[in-house]
Amino acid sequence: MSLLEIKKLTKSFTVGDTSTTAVDNISLIVEKGDFLSIVGHSGSGKTTFVSIIGGILKPTSGEVLIDNTDICSLNDDLLSEYRNIKIGFMFQFASLLPMLTAKENILLPGIFGSNSHRNGEDKAIEYLNIVGLHDKVNSYPSQLSGGQQRRVAIARALINNPDILLADEPTGDLDEETEKDIMDIFTKINTEKKVSIILITHNTDLAKMSKKMLRMSHGKLEEV
Ligand SMILES: Nc1ncnc2c1ncn2[C@@H]1O[C@H](COP(=O)(O)OP(=O)(O)O)[C@@H](O)[C@H]1O
Ligand SMILES: [Mg+2]
């Protein structure tokens, strides 16, 4: 059984008289340990696609199967459980809470997740180690560089042991060298923790570092 199976996924938006098909009949299989990258022009449907996989947007038609369950058919409670247990999310902007330290920011999803808070601190410190920030445990976001904040966001996305990490242009506003550092961390997590990763990036050089590069164009996904 595959980790994630996407079947004939379509999402249309209607604004006034105009209808846009942002995701157009996409089928895709993601196995445990896969590392996919998706490149494509702005407006090609990338964010819409990962938002549906992450359960934060409902498709117009099609299925997103995880453990043989179509998450699009789940009620809100089951859907948020799914999001907590299965999925780690990383968005373009790190969005750390400024009044919390790095460690406290990482612990936040654990508080709402079903995982016990016991050992949470140890785990937060373990993940700060993985992303190379062992000496910043008690630093506030304002005391961290952009790249360091992004690393905290990676650790936060991983604290509930998700099967899949979804990252939507997580390095968009970083310099080239820092982007590369973040990419190395993704590769390490993928290899060592066997987390499957779907990474959206505008940077083709970074995308080439993943195991498989896909291109999104007018709502269609094609292998490059
Ligand atoms: N909430 C929405 N309402 C209407 N149209 C939307 C909405 N979200 C996205 N779209 C449209 O869907 C298309 C794909 O957008 P998006 O998924 O954000 O692309 P990308 O992430 O590749 O830049 C665009 O034409 C965008 O305008
Ligand atoms: Mg986008």
pLDDT value at 116 more than 70: no
Tally of structural domains, the chain: 1
Residue 22 sits in which domain range? Answer: 4-223
CATH number of the domain that 126 lies in? 3.40.50.300
What is the number of the ligand closest to the CA of 43?
Answer: 1
Q: Which atom of ligand 1 is nearest to the CA of 216?
A: 22
Average pLDDT of 128-146? 94
For ligand 1, say whether the CB of 51 is within 6 Å of any of its atoms. Answer: no
The pLDDT assigned to 173 comes to: 80
How close is the Cα of 22 to the center of ligand 1, in Å? Answer: 6
The pLDDT assigned to 85 comes to: 86
Q: Which of 9, 48, 91, 198 to mutate to test the pocket of ligand 1 (most atoms within 8 A of CB)?
A: 48
Q: Which atom of ligand 1 is nearest to the CA of 169?
A: 21
Average pLDDT of 130-136? 93
The pLDDT assigned to 83 comes to: 86
The pLDDT assigned to 93 comes to: 72
- Which tens digit of pLDDT belongs to each residue from 172-220? 888 888 999 999 999 999 999 999 999 999 899 999 999 999 999 999 9
pTM, 2 dp: 0.92
User: Going by CA atoms, what residue is nearest to atom 20 of ligand 1?
Assistant: 43
Average pLDDT of 137-162? 93
* pLDDT confidence tier of residue 7, bands split at 50, 70 and 90: very high
Bridge partners for 165 per DSSP: 88, 197
Average pLDDT of 143-148? 93
Could you give the CA distance from residue 114 to residue 102 in angstroms, rounded to a whole number?
21
Token output for 220:
């269609």
For ligand 1, say whether the CB of 15 is within 6 Å of any of its atoms. Answer: yes
Q: Which atom of ligand 1 is nearest to the CA of 15?
A: 4
For ligand 1, say whether the CB of 60 is within 6 Å of any of its atoms. Answer: no
- Which tens digit of pLDDT belongs to each residue from 58-112? 999 999 999 889 999 999 999 988 888 899 989 877 689 999 999 999 998 766 5
Name the average pLDDT for the chain.
Answer: 91
For ligand 1, say whether the CB of 218 is within 6 Å of any of its atoms. Answer: no
